Amino acid sequence: MPDPTEKHRLIHTPPARALVAPSILAADFADLGADCRDVMNAGADLLHVDIMDGHFVPNLSMGPAVCAAVRRACPGVFLDVHLMVSEPDAYVDPFVDAGADLISFHVEVREGMACRDLIKRIRERGVKTGVVVNPPTPAERVMPYVDLVDLVLVMSVNPGFGGQAFIPEVLEKARMIKPALRADQRLEIDGGVSPGNAERVREAGFDVLVAGSAVFGLPAGDRAGAIAEIRGPAGVASPGP
């Protein structure tokens, strides 16, 4: 089993460039392990695992068993689990046990002490932590927790489905969040990211770019090029505002 701290270095001391995290929601569910291995071989840095409960968002996606299957198929890959669920506390243990390396949850469902307690609970399980903010939610709502987490995820679509149009107004949130982050913390963006908008996203300060349909939606031979375009030039960390 790969050394978890090695994988966690990806978050705390990443290469000086953006990280690309294909969302498996857009993968071929009939051949999920092979499709995940393909995007990793095409240059992806980690995999984004979208968990939807049909309540917080109007869609159902996958459960811990699918996460565990991806873990078996890709033993050394960093799994970034995004909980779009109304009761995130209930899913910490199942997804840690299923191989999650990071668990993020929405401030729209947990704030104040409940949010702090949940971050602490995830950390105590030995995995990385993230808080997520939806497009209509002001960036101010994540600021009380920024010093407690490893990553802040800014949604650039209203969550629930892949393949939606990018909402550029959310880029503005980096102006408030990025300056509050330490060098060992990441600013992630999720939803509608593509080679067409990735440069603008990186320049705004985002350094982990989730891309579902823009990667998994391509034929296998085209994925490496798309990942490279989304990542941008090496040696250029996301400058931020």
Segment contacting ligand DX5 by CB under 6 A, of 4-12, 27-35, 100-108, 153-161: 153-161
In angstroms, rounded to a whole number, what is the distance separating the alpha carbons of residues 194 and 30? Answer: 24
Task: Examine residue 134 and tell whether it contacts ligand DX5 (CB under 6 A).
Answer: no
226's CB contacts (< 8 A; 6+ apart) are 194, 195, 211, 214, 215, 218
Instruction: Mark 166-195 with x for binding to ligand DX5 (rule: CB under 6 A) and - for no binding.
Output: ------------------------xxxx--
Residue type for 179, please?
P
Residue 141 near residue 133 (C-beta atoms within 8 A): yes
Query: CA–CA separation, 71 vs 62, rounded Å?
Result: 14
Q: How far is the CB of 162 from ligand DX5 (least distance, A)?
A: 3
Burial 119-145, CB ≥16 within 10 A → b, else e: bebbeeeebbbbbbbbeebebebbbeb
To the query of whether residue 35 is one of the catalytic residues in this protein, the response is: no
Using alpha carbons only, how large is the chain's radius of gyration in Å? 16
Quick one: 126 or 196, whose CB is closer to ligand DX5? Answer: 196
In the shown chain, the binding pattern of residues 23 to 62 toward ligand DX5, with x for contact by CB under 6 A and - for none, equals: x-xx---------------------x-x------------
**Which position among 44, 71, 82, 185 is part of the footprint of ligand DX5 (CB under 6 A)?**
82
The answer to whether 186 contacts Zn ion (rule: CB under 5 A) is no
By a kind-dependent CB cut-off of 5 to 8 A, residue 232 interacts, out of Zn ion, ligand DX5, none, with none
Instruction: Collapse the DSSP code of 175 into the 3-class scheme (helix H, G, I; strand E, B; otherwise coil) and give the result.
Output: helix
- Residues near ligand DX5 (CB under 6 A): 23, 25-26, 48, 50, 82, 84, 157, 159-160, 162-164, 190-193, 210-214
Catalytic positions: 50, 190
